[in-house]
Amino acid sequence: MNIEAGSEKKQVYFKNLKFYIHTFGCQMNENDSERIGGILAQEGAQKSNSLENSNLIIVNTCAVRQKSEEKLFSFLGRLTRIKKRKNLIIGIVGCVAQLHRAQLLEKNSGVDFVLGPDNYSDLNQVILKHFGEKFMATRWSREWKEIPSEHILRKSDISAFVTIMEGCNNFCSYCIVPFTRGREKFRPFSNIIKEVRDLADNGYKEIQFLGQNVNSYGDASSGKDFSALLREVNSIPGIEWIRFITSHPTNFTQDIALAMKEGEKICPQLHLPLQSGSSSVLRRMNRGYTRDEYLEKIKLLRDLMPGISLSTDIIVGFPGETEKEFQDTLKILEEVRYTNIFSFRYSPRPLTAASRMRDDVPFEVKKRRLIEVQELQKSIQLEKNESMVGRVIKVLCLGKSKKNPQVFSGRNEGFQVVNFKSPKDLTGEFAPVLITSCGPHSLQGEKANNY
């Protein structure tokens, strides 16, 4: 059945929708969910905070690792059981939707619609057009599809994600993203600036630029690149901290590093995915840089910003990874001494070049290597954090800690979690915090009177 856009029936339809969005994956997906929520809310649908009280459930999916896909399918089983009890629409969006669209829509799956990452802006139209039918919209677009930022339903009113590009042209041999998100598309420069200005006017203190590879940003009509974007937002009054993720080492230029150093609002913090400390593994991964080239970038960053906080991604057990190649990863962790890392066991993803290589590192070896990486990194983090005890640092307070509502929680410039006591609620404010103790994953302290 087709409900006509603009009709009374349409208004009633959306007014009766109570939607719940469950998000798997990274910050890009978090921001996509905020944008999808805004698209629905714009037509009168209401956001719900529980599965049970909703009649539209959207699952925003991640295909980067096999594990996240497995989690989705077990979550879907739960939704299908709820659907047997009540009238419910289930929509699957995001990378798994793009990848497994036909399987997800199978007759008895309980899924009503499937939407790929390039189709969110059409959500309301396709819901109306296909009312009561199973449908999919998974066409890629070569052009950027703008979702007006005023319709974004943000989770935080202090720190905001701002997506500046989508897709990837790099084709790292293990990565599924170019097959699910398509090729790079860049958001118009003026739209990004407008969104940041609006956020500043609405009292946001921090923004985080998002994209699969933000360093390759380029706006064809204005000729502005990523460093120009950083310089421009640095001059917008109101926003006090600027971050960005993710950076590809190959596209991370000296000019971007200089823009970071010169921009007093740009946090001295960078996530620069390494993946492996071995040049031969990096070649098989098609990463486009060697171990030494990566280390040169780290040197450049530390020469310009000695206190910079660095984090990275590590994959262990990539096809053919020898013990010697793995040891090179441990050595680079000791050399760079990251503030934080995200580490994973390799798992083959469909369509990728690596999925055609022999996945020959036994599971037990992958498991042991992951533990070694994580143990080493834990000791590095603990040492680094201990060196901060006794110092007073600037923290953006994001609210009460979820684990312990007696304390407040926030982040420092280095993007570390800081839990602290304060006699006053400082949510949304910057505060000086004296660090009194720490663990490997967070810092603890108390509000100080000054820096």
Residue given tokens 């050595």 in the structure block: 331
For 130-134, the CB contacts below 8 A with 24+ separation are: 130/2, 131/1, 131/2, 131/3, 131/13, 132/1, 133/1, 134/105
CB of 328: closest distance to ligand SF4 in angstroms? 19
Shortest spacing between CB 177 and ligand SF4, in angstroms: 4
Residue 354 or 443: the one with the smaller Cβ distance to ligand SF4 is 354
Residue (of 67, 73, 14) closest to 44 by Cα position: 14
Check residue 237 and report its DSSP letter. Answer: T
CA distance 105 to 338: 43
Name the minimum Å distance from CB 349 to ligand SF4. 10
311 or 416: CB nearest ligand SF4: 311
Compute the C-alpha angle 124/127/130, nearest 5°. Answer: 145
Smallest distance from ligand SF4 to CB 344, Å:
12
Q: Which is nearer to ligand SF4, 205 or 287 (CB)?
A: 287
Burial classification of residue 315, based on how many CB atoms lie within 10 Å of its CB (0-12 exposed, 13-18 middle, 19 or more buried)? buried
CB 210 within 8 A of CB 161: yes
Residue 231 burial by CB count (10 A; 0-12/13-18/19+): exposed, middle or buried? Answer: middle
Beta-bridge mates of residue 438? 443
**419 by DSSP, 3-state: which?**
strand
Nearer to ligand SF4, 117 or 410 (CB): 117
One-letter amino acid identity for 259?
A
| Shortest distance (Å) from residue 175 CB to ligand SF4 | 3
CB of 173 to ligand SF4, least distance (A): 9
Q: Distance from first CA to last CA of the chain, Å, rounded?
A: 63
Closer to ligand SF4 by Cβ: residue 346 or 420: 346
CA atoms within 13 Å, Cβ hemisphere of 258 = 5
Read off the tokens for 101. 């669209």
Q: Least distance (Å) from ligand SF4 to the CB of residue 297?
A: 15
Q: Which residue number, 177 or 266, has a Cβ lying nearer to ligand SF4?
A: 177
CB-wise, 175 or 305, nearer to ligand SF4?
175
Name the minimum Å distance from CB 64 to ligand SF4. 8
Whichever of 224 and 248 has its CB closer to ligand SF4, that residue is 248
**DSSP tag of 266:** B
Nearest to ligand SF4 of 343, 422 (CB atom) = 343
**Of 17 and 177, CB closest to ligand SF4:** 177
Query: Smallest distance, Å, CB 246 to ligand SF4?
Result: 6
Query: In sequence order, what E strands does 138-291 have?
Result: 159-163, 165-166, 185-186, 206-210, 218-219, 224-225, 241-245, 269-271
Describe the crossing of helices 323-336 and 363-386 by its angle, rounded to 10 degrees: 10
Min separation Cβ 78 and ligand SF4, Å = 29
Q: Which residues bind ligand SF4 (CB under 6 A)?
A: 168, 170-172, 175, 177-178, 212-213, 248
Structure tokens, 44: 């009168």
Ordered DSSP codes for 353-411: SGGGS---S-HHHHHHHHHHHHHHHHHHHHHHHHTTTT-EEEEEEEEE-SS-TTSEEEE
* Residue 228, Cβ density class (10 Å: 0-12 exposed, 13-18 middle, ≥19 buried): middle
Nearer to ligand SF4, 178 or 445 (CB): 178
Residue 213 C-beta: closest distance to ligand SF4, Å: 5
What's the CA gap between 415 and 32, in Å, rounded?
A: 22
The C-alpha atoms of residue 6 and residue 239 are separated, in whole angstroms, by: 38
